[in-house]
Structure 1
Amino acid sequence: MVCILLKLLIFGVNLLPTFNFASTISLKDNEQSLDLQMVSKLLNETIDESIDPCQDFYQFACGTWLERNYEESKSSDLRMIHQPIKLIRQTFFDQFITGKKVLKSNILRQMKYFHRLCVTKYTQEYSYKFAIGHCERKFPTIFDEALYYIMFHQTFNDKKLRNIKLKVTNMIDNIKYSFKKLINEKEWIDKKTKHYAFKKLNSMRSLFYDMKNYTLKEMETLYEHLKFTNENTFEEAKKSLKTFDILLTKKKKLLNKLSLISLFQPNAVYKLTENKISYNLGIFMKPYFDEKLPMSFNYGGLGYIIGHEITHGFDDDGSQYNENGKKFNWWSDEEKKIFQEKSNLFIEQYNKNVEKVSGYNVNGTLTLSENIADNGGINAAFNGYKKYLNELGRDEQKIPGYEKYSNEQLFFIAYSQLYCSSFTFVSTHYLMMNDPHSPDRFRVLTTLGNQKSFSDAFQCKVGSKMNPKYKVVIWKTGK
């Protein structure tokens, strides 16, 4: 757990807090391990430069990715943010199941043996290539915990996690600082309420998961009673797995901690009753964050997520809780009225968005909290990134083949690519009825349309689709 302790000057002429930033990471260290060719390849596989970014930034940022994945998207839901999970699974099979990478592990031996039984069965009717692919796709989920334990220790180590925590902590510092500036500039919030807001923000904790809580020895213990014999047929092995699944479920409950299957999902959660943000391991992988990515991408990805979760502490729900996660009314009646009026403007704005596949309008009331967090989060992250650049004292390195894009433009491209996605009609229908998030397309178009920093970066004319004259403001630059 990392607690961000920032000094705060509450009363006096200036309500804006002062800070001691004591990051142990040199700003220049962030550029020593950059892989600019990797970034160039990423942009080449995602953006569509035939599209005017001031007319449809979603299509500009995701157009090539959508085209490349068009056939697969006809039958399945796809999101760019889930590609690292697919890569981790594929790497596991390529290295440990069909490859020659060695790991002293009983459960890995059982997994390899089950896979061989599966391949042997299906090569009786189909080609070897088909059998390999089929057995990977249909690999029993009961093995997932072991798969992720193994790949967790292949992907991360103590040193890498320490470096990630240091870099992310510095990002949190900068984004918190920028969010404090957003609060301080709001003329409709009085000094007393700002005091409570600063107090809550300063007390907001960040939780990172530790490697020592997930050991390979523990993983072996989970699966110690699973053993196949040389006499087992494929059908007998499958039957054994069903029996063992009950025991495994009980063992996992006894561990009383989040499974690595869940931890690898790219997610972060703000818990309003604890005033705490928990970060899953998957959020520290591309496209959210990578030590080889420029900080424009890291702030546009993970930085936005940090800002988004911080903003949840001050959205229509979070604003009802204090720094200890207790329900507390720290707003004046007039401030609550203004906050509600601004919230209603968000509802009206998002209600006008029509999702093309289903034909439904976005439910601005259902999605209000997430829309507030999207708008406040991207603004706090952008200002946090500008603070980083100011401390760096220069621009970041240019991307080969994409030198024309500024740091600020790359920030917004990175943000938008978190939402490159395609869903089937059935999934789209369900999401429109139940998901508290707006459709991915509008998380880009409407959110960025509200950001003056975006239209300035791409020099979009006032009145263009990405720079409407009217912008909705709560937790972003503007009074």
Structure 2
Amino acid sequence: MRHLNSLTVYKPIGRNQDYCAEFVMNQFPLAALRVYVRNHYDKENLELASEMVEEIRENLIETFMQSTWLHENTRMRAIRKAELMKKVIGYPPEFEVPGALDSFFESVTFSETDSYFTTFKKADKLYKEQYFDYHSGFLSIEPDIVFVKSGAHYRPWENRLTLQIPFIDDPYFDSTYPKYAKIAGIGEVIGHEMGHGFDTEGRKLDENGGKNDWWTLEDSAEYDRKTQCLIDQYNNYDDPDFGKNLNGSKTVAEMAADLIGISVSWKTYNKVDFSKEPSIFGFEDEKPDKLFFHITALVILNV
């Protein structure tokens, strides 16, 4: 998922608790995140997910090292970008400190007598203050992401990967799952988001997120040739439900990220020692390669 802009949709005011809960989560994502993590989340998942990101990163770097067409200068720049890619797993670790979030809400007070309109205006003012703080470097986590909603994204201008808490939780991921199930469950998505750093647009930015053409002319031409192959392959796919062929040129960045994601997660998966891992009930006789695509497909269909 690429977070390029945001859209605010104003819904009619509901009369149920679900609407009120959604409103609070959307307007106060950091506070909602703290409540969710303290009361409903297995924090062991954070460490395991962070370790998996590093495994996926290592296999992405290994892929660059094993490339037969990248010249050395381009290869080393790609490796450097992967090595310096920042990560936020759930939330920044400094938010674990008791009282760390309190200062973010000191400028706003609410009263039981406030109308819905007044409450909304106060919350919106706080959001704008935090938004400016984030872009001024005073806030380490962006206030416009609802962290209690499932998702993962890559911000190319920051060269940063973020995994949101519900995405690294049951049913996609859990500390009790076998290692191969964890990799098959979210490895492709992690690799996909990392892959956006090297898709048709992300490759134009350097390890700091600045616009910088670090590709040799030969490698750039070969990259374009390879992505054109993806476009041609996609264009030849006839969707019987859609009634016509699809346009690969409009989705080539996602296809490139998909190809990187599935490749590095598959590489990571194949390094698991299955003899040390328990089998999944009902899939005891499933071959490992088939099981990988089975689990990966289930997750992708539900993300």
Residue 155 of structure 1 pairs with residue 40 of structure 2: yes
- The equivalent residue for 1:201 is 82
Q: Mark the runs of 5 or more structure 2 residues left unpaired by the alignment.
A: 1-13, 132-140
State how far apart, in whole Å, the 1-side matches of 2:235 and 2:17 are: 43
Q: Aligned to 1:405, what secondary structure does the other structure show?
A: coil
Amino acid in the other structure paired with 2:49: V
CA separation of 1:313 and 1:136: change in aligned 2, threshold 3 A: same
CA distance in 1, matches of 2:234, 2:225: 15
Q: Distance in 2 between matches of 1:373 and 1:343?
A: 11
The Cα shift of 1:194 comes to 1.5
Per-residue CA distance 1:216-257 (angstroms, 9 max, x = gap): 8679868842315xxxxxxxx9xx223321112112333445
How much has 1:282 moved relative to structure 2? 2.5
Is 2:59 aligned against 1:178? yes
Match 1:305 to one of 173, 189, 209: 189
In the other structure, the counterpart of 1:244 is 119
Map of 1:278-293 to 2, 5 A cutoff? 278-293=162-177
Deviation readout 1:261-299 (Å, 9 max, x if unpaired): 711222222222322212222221234321122222211
Does the 8 Å contact 1:353/1:361 carry over to 2?
yes
1:172 and 1:142 mapped to 2: Cα distance?
32
Letter in 2 for 1:203: L
Asked if structure 2 preserves the Cα contact closer than 8 Å seen for 1:311 and 1:373, the reply is: yes
Match of 1:351 in 2: 235
Q: Partners of 1:291 and 1:224 in 2: how far apart?
A: 39
Counterpart code for 1:184: M
Distance 2:117 2:297 in 1: 42
Normalising by structure 1, report the TM-score: 0.51
Normalising by structure 2, what TM-score? Answer: 0.77
Cα distance in 1 between the residues matched to 2:210 and 2:143: 28
2:79, 2:58 → 1: CA distance?
10
**Amino acid across the alignment from 1:155:** H
- The equivalent of 1:396 in structure 2 is 277
Per-residue CA shift, 1:95-140, capped at 9, x if unaligned?
Answer: xxxxxxxxxxxxxxxxxxxx9xx5xxxxxxxxxxxxxxxx345547
- Pair 1:394–1:311, CA change in 2 (3 A): same
Following TM superposition, by how much is the alpha carbon of 1:182 offset from its aligned partner in structure 2, in angstroms? 1.8
CA contact (8 A) 2:56 2:264 kept: yes
**Partner Cα distance (1:420, 1:357) in 2:** 17
Alignment match, 1:226: 111
Contact 1:142 1:241 survives alignment (8 Å):
no
Q: Residue type of the partner of 1:347?
A: I
Report SS of the residue matched to 1:401: coil
Is the CA contact 2:32–2:148 (under 8 Å) kept in the aligned structure 1? Answer: no
Q: 1:283 to 1:222 in 2, by over 3 A?
A: farther
Relative to structure 1, the CA distance from residue 261 to residue 272 in structure 2 (aligned partners, 3 Å threshold; closer, same or farther) is closer
* Aligned counterpart, 1:102: none
Give me the whole-angstrom Cα distance separating, in 2, the residues matched to 1:188 and 1:217.
52
Query: Are residue 277 (structure 1) and residue 152 (structure 2) matched?
Result: no
What secondary structure is seen at the aligned counterpart in 2 of 1:410? helix
Q: Which runs of 5+ in 1 are unaligned?
A: 1-114, 119-134, 229-236, 422-439, 441-479
- Cα deviations across residues 184-211 of structure 1 (Å, max 9, x unaligned)? 2322212222222222222222123144
Residue 254 (structure 1) aligns with: 129
Distance 2:100 2:242 in 1: 46
1:402-424 alpha-carbon deviations (Å, 9 max, x no partner): 21113333322221112326xxx
Q: Please report how far the alpha carbon of residue 260 of structure 1 lies from its aligned counterpart in structure 2 after TM superposition.
A: 8.6
Q: Higher Cα Rg: structure 1 or 2?
A: 1
2:248 matches 1:364 = yes
Give how far 1:380 is off.
Answer: 0.2
Q: Write the letter of the residue equivalent to 1:196.
A: R
CA distance in 2, matches of 1:308, 1:398: 26
For 2:170, what is the secondary structure of its paired residue? coil
For residues 355 and 322 of structure 1, the distance between their equivalents in structure 2, rounded to whole angstroms, comes to: 37
Give me the identity figure in percent: 24
Q: What whole-Å deviation, never above 9, does each CA across 1:351-375 have from its counterpart, x for those lacking one?
A: 2334455435332111101111111
Amino acid at match of 1:227: E
Q: Counterpart of 1:324?
A: 208
Residue-by-residue CA offset, 1:280-338 (whole Å, 9 max, x unaligned): 22221234321122222211222112211222222212222222223333322222221
